[in-house]
Amino acid sequence: MRQDTKPEFRAWDEEAVLHRLIEAAHVQRLLPAVSGPRSPRASWPQVMREWSDLVAQAGLEEDETGQMAAALRSISLPPDALTRLEEVYDWHRLFLKDRPAAARCLWAFLIARVTPRLTFAALCRRRGWARRTAYRRAGQAIEAVAKGLNTMMVPYAPADPDIIADYVEGRDAPCLRGRAA
């Protein structure tokens, strides 16, 4: 006799949503950047660049090139990382479509979290945002996503701990703590 039982539903909390969002921002940061329209492929032949050309362009010394090569080789993503990134994009589309300002603040917060030497406060100053308001909006966006996921009964899928470890350990998330309800 086989019993078909559904797995117990685990509710999404704000911290779990934040971790998945941080994971998505990290994955997006590792993807190659595409800016502007693509050039016509038939117009010019593709330029082949050699490693020595890239080193010379960057102005690196010989001993630094080994470190750069090792860093480039060490960048790898789990097989399901892009699928999970697309899920987070869907969360933005589904749960933050009526809150564009909150979505912008949230994504800026996430980019600042995963980018070395960039703080959310500096990003707010650069964009002319009031820092407290930006934190509050980012927190509201996280709250809206968690509420939407729970309303739609989306199965809980935690973030990859190997990816988010550098970004969450020992760091407070001001958008979640100490703000007025």
Q: Nearest 5°: phi and psi at 128?
A: 75, 25
Q: Which of 86, 107, 85 is nearest to 96 (CA)?
A: 107
pLDDT 10s digits, 102-113: 999 999 999 999
Average pLDDT over the chain, rounded to whole? 79
What is the band of 91 on the pLDDT scale with cuts at 50, 70, 90?
very high
Res 61: pLDDT = 53
pLDDT 10s digits, 3-55: 556 667 788 999 999 999 999 999 888 887 666 666 555 555 555 566 666 65
CA 65 – CA 59 distance, rounded (Å): 10
Q: Which of 155, 139, 179 is nearest to 12 (CA)?
A: 155
Question: What Å distances lie between residue 76 and 27, 41, 43, CA to CA?
Answer: 10, 28, 33
Examine the pLDDT at 180 and tell me if it is beyond 50.
no
Q: Nearest 5°: phi and psi at 171?
A: -115, 135
Examine the pLDDT at 179 and tell me if it is beyond 50.
no
B/e letters for 102-123, b = 16+ CB within 10 Å, e = fewer, are bbbbbbbbbebbbeeeeebeeb
User: How far apart are the two ends of the chain, measured CA to CA in Å?
Assistant: 49
Q: Which amino acid is it at 88?
A: V
Examine the pLDDT at 148 and tell me if it is beyond 80.
yes
Q: What is the mean pLDDT of residues 127-132?
A: 94
Task: Count how many Cα atoms sit within 13 Å of the Cα of residue 86 in the half-sphere of its side chain.
Answer: 4
Examine the pLDDT at 60 and tell me if it is beyond 80.
no
pTM attached to this predicted model:
0.71
What is the band of 166 on the pLDDT scale with cuts at 50, 70, 90?
confident
**Cβ–Cβ under 8 Å, residues 55 and 66:** no
